[in-house]
Structure 1
Amino acid sequence: MWVKKRSFYVTAIIFIFAVAIAVVFSLCTQPETKTPPTVTPGEKLEKLTLRWGSSKEGTAGYAIFFGVAKIISEKVPELYIEAVPTAGSIASQRMYAKGELDGCYAGLWNLVDVYQNRGPYEKEPWPKDRPKPYHTWYVYTADSFVVTRADRDDIQSWEDLRGKKVYIPIPGSAVYEVPKAAFKAAGIWDDIEVVDIPFSAVPDALRSGTIDAAVPYVISHSSPAPWVKELATRADIKVVNPTQEQIDAIKKAKIKGMSTSWVSTKETFPEKDVGTDKIFMVSTYYGFHTGKNVPSEYIYRMVKTLIENAEEVSKTHAVAKLYAKDPLKLQIEAIDSAPDIPVHPGTAKYLKERGVWKDEWKIGEE
């Protein structure tokens, strides 16, 4: 009898000890939640270190933000940014949502995903206990348009894409979803056949007629993706623009996270004749964003520094040249294309200071 009791006590002690270890391990492996410093207006700021997601190594987003982190460390001594490489916009947002980052790299299209629980967030919405990223700072655009083979007289506008095979790159990404939304608004999405092939196969597929058209993308109007450069070199192409009726329909749709523009062909293809002087582009915006976890005064100083030192930002990567031309305009266009998303209070303070704030915009909670 005594042996049984002893065995019971030993088993109970081991069980309690195991549970205690599990609880301690669970607490230790939770992402650290920082308590942001309390900031009183006019008070000297404490030194704040932020882990901020960038994009993949070798990309424009990666190069820009590592350069930006250096600019901030030199000009805003109370703020240190540790630029953290991530797999891209969605991956960076996911890490921010888990508390692994203090700020994220994100395309505006994906910010709209967060707020509308669509796309990657349809089945796995943003955690209710984590701050959502606000409009904070934008630095470049991703711009899509349509091309076909130069001798395709049967394709003169988007209207002629009905019944045709069209290559749109990277399903699920913004450079797929943005032109898809534009094609839907133009009334042709259900009448085209979307083809998915490797980048390297696009020039030969277009030349042979395996595909009838393609949707290339460039960054900030003038920096083609590598596969687009190859396409322009290996195939004789022409740009295909929508009809005015289709343009009107796209603008009327007011697609959140997307804007439209006419861009000079010389800006995109300076040494190639693509059959038109202007290209109709559908675009979204990319930048670096955070939420109420970072006090407004730090973001105010960061945004002020990056806008007022736009020339230095432009030296971080060629795609930031468009930003340098008018950095305020880029912020305004991005916010205007998704005005339901709150603006970070620090960004809002600076935009008000510059006299460009709009009453219809929203300021995020502190």
Structure 2
Amino acid sequence: MKTLAVSTVAGLAVMGATLLTQPQITSAQEVTQLRWATSATGSAGHRAKVNLMAVLNREMDNFNINVMPTPGAIATIRGYAMGEFDGYYGADIAFNELANDTGRFEGFRDRMEREPVQSFWAYTMEVGLAVRASDLENYSGWGDLAGSPVFTGPAPWDVRAQLERAMNTLEVGHEYRELDLGLAGSSLDDGTIDAFIAYTASESSVAPWVAEAELSVDMAILNPNESEVQALRDAGMEVVSLDPGVFQSDVHVDEVMLVPFFYGFHLGPDVSEEDMYNMLVTIEENAEELARADSVFAQIRDDMPEMQRRGVEASINDVRVHPGLARYMRERDVWNSDWDDRIAD
């Protein structure tokens, strides 16, 4: 009995140390404990991850997923790269900055312990620009905002990074103004700024603070012109056309042209190809339920393989693909053989 007690204590100590560096596997129950980080409680990312976790924990007996709130998506990628989490909430724009050691990740690569990979793309967010409706006829495209004061979003946010990336691609050298979200509409109305970021989630709903801003100002969506749309696409970015009815008020255009980026809940190669593949199949089989619980999952309900293709295509040069995701995509005929050398080991 003494020998058994000593062995048990030693085993628990080893398990405790292991939990700090990799998913914990409890052999007696064959259950893998996953610490899956997401954004702050109350955010869209946290809500989506809680709903996703509920389905996966119910349907997959070999996993027990714990949702780990953090200040934001960037913190989850940093935490994964430093060995603090097993899963993370990552966007293609963040992966681009990480790969190039720029923006919010400048100087971080030298401290990383492991590289993130992409494994599940959940939904898009789509960014654009709103201007005063009375000024709309004075603009021919985004380029006319050069030199103007623009609120492109809170400094740490992915939506701002994506809009800045698109504007930089078009060489729209604007003056960034930091604002409280609640002041965006009134600041546009009184001329403090000439434009602010307007964005949607899953091509179906407007960010709550943007909807509130619509109550403070008669705003119009400023679409990029035809040559700007082509320049964005040539740079590897999508441009999507949405019905203006997605906004709460009349935005004075017949279509809304926005630049999407992709959000996903990702796991690393410590989760096997088989387990990741099975997880994706489970998500696909329960996509209708997920979409009922949270409308951001409508895109995977409508066409999950296509969402994976779009997400991978947007980030393939910046982050490798989990082999389980590659297998899933091959079986659904949305894998590009040009990506074969981008599959993670």
TM-score over 0.5 (shorter chain): yes
Partners of 1:285 and 1:334 within 8 A in 2: yes
Q: Indicate the larger mover: 164-173 or 286-295.
A: 164-173
Secondary structure of 1:259 counterpart: coil
2:208 counterpart of 1:220: no
For 1:36 and 1:172, locate their aligned partners in 2 and report how far apart those are by CA, in whole Å. Answer: 32
Equivalent in the alignment of 2:143: 159
2:12 — aligned with what? none
Asked if 2 retains the 8 angstrom alpha-carbon contact of 1:96 and 1:103, the reply is yes
Deviations 1:256-298 (A, max 9, x none): xx432111212x22x5221112111112111111221211111
Query: Residue 50 of structure 1 contacts residue 102 of structure 1 at CA under 8 Å; is this kept in 2?
Result: yes
SS state at 2:183 partner? helix
What amino acid maps onto 2:292 in structure 1?
K
Counterpart-to-counterpart distance in 2, 1:356 and 1:30: 37
SS of 1:234's equivalent in the other structure is: coil
Distance apart, 1:34 and its partner CA: 3.1
Gaps of at least 5 residues in structure 1 are 1-27, 38-44
Matches within 5 A, 1:19-98: 32-34=20-22, 46-98=30-82
In structure 2, what is the equivalent of residue 274 of structure 1?
251
Residue aligning to 2:335: 357
1:149 and 1:111 map into 2 onto residues whose CA distance is: 33
How many angstroms apart in 1 are the aligned matches of 2:281 and 2:45?
20
Determine the C-alpha separation between the residues in 1 that align with 2:168 and 2:84. Answer: 37
Q: Which amino acid aligns with 1:85?
A: P
Q: Secondary structure at the match of 1:145?
A: strand
Residue equivalent to 1:24: none
What secondary structure does 1:206 align onto?
Answer: helix
Change in CA separation of 1:205 and 1:365 when aligned onto 2, cut-off 3 Å: closer
Other-structure match for 1:338: 315
Counterpart among 159, 173, 176 of residue 194 in structure 1? 176
Contact 1:143 1:218 in 2 (8 A): yes
Residues 1:248 and 2:227 aligned together: no
Residue 237 (1) aligns with residue 219 (2): yes
Task: Identify which of 218, 222, 244 aligns with 1:265.
Answer: 244
Counterparts in 2 of 1:32 and 1:207: CA distance versus 1, 3 Å: closer
Opposite residue 61 of structure 1, the aligned amino acid is: G
**Matching of residues 257-336 of structure 1 within 5 Å:** 258-266=237-245, 268-269=246-247, 271-336=248-313
Q: Bigger CA drift: 145-154 or 320-329? A: 320-329
Q: Residue 118 of structure 2 aligns with which residue?
A: 135
Aligned to 2:117, the other structure's residue is in SS state coil
Q: Distance in 1 between matches of 2:62 and 2:207?
A: 37
Q: Secondary structure of the equivalent of 1:33?
A: coil
Distance in 2, matches of 1:345 and 1:290, equals: 11
Task: Determine if contact 2:23/2:34 at 8 Å carries over to the other structure.
Answer: no
Contact 1:241 1:279 in 2 (8 A): yes
User: Any conservation in 1 of the 2:140–2:225 contact (CA below 8 Å)?
Assistant: no
Structure 1 residues 304 and 131, CA gap change in structure 2 (3 angstroms): farther
Please, what is the CA RMSD of the aligned residues?
A: 2.2
In the alignment, residue 345 of structure 1 is paired with which amino acid? P
Counterpart residue number, 1:115: 99
Q: In structure 2, what residue type is equivalent to 1:356? A: V
Is contact 1:145-1:217 (8 Å) kept? yes
Deviation at 1:119, TM superposition (A): 2.2
Task: Report the Cα distance in structure 2 between the residues aligned to 1:126 and 1:355, rounded to whole angstroms.
Answer: 37
The amino acid across from 2:64 in the alignment is Y
Q: 1:278 to 1:179 in 2, by over 3 A?
A: same
Distance in 2 between the 1:311 and 1:348 partners?
23
Cα distance in 2 between the residues matched to 1:138 and 1:48: 22
How far did residue 338 of structure 1 move? 1.7
One-letter amino acid of the counterpart of residue 342, structure 1: R
Mapped contact 2:131–2:219 kept (Cα < 8 A) = yes
TM-score by length of 1: 0.82
- 1:242 partner SS: coil
8 Å Cα contact 1:186/1:247 also seen in 2: no
Higher mean C-alpha deviation, range 60-69 or range 165-174 = 165-174
**2-structure distance, mates of 1:314, 1:259:** 24
Per-residue displacement from partner, 1:169-220 (whole Å, max 9, x unpaired)? 11243211211121122232x2x22222211211111111221111222211
Amino acid at match of 1:262: S
Give the structure 2 partner of residue 347 of structure 1. 325
Map of 1:18 onto structure 2: none
Instruction: State the one-letter code of the partner of 1:306.
Output: I
TM-score (norm 2): 0.87
CA separation of 1:350 and 1:36: change in aligned 2, threshold 3 A = farther
Change (3 A) 1:126 1:295: farther
Per the TM alignment, residue 29 of structure 1 is displaced from its structure 2 partner at its CA by 8.1
Q: Which runs of 5+ in 2 are unaligned?
A: 1-15
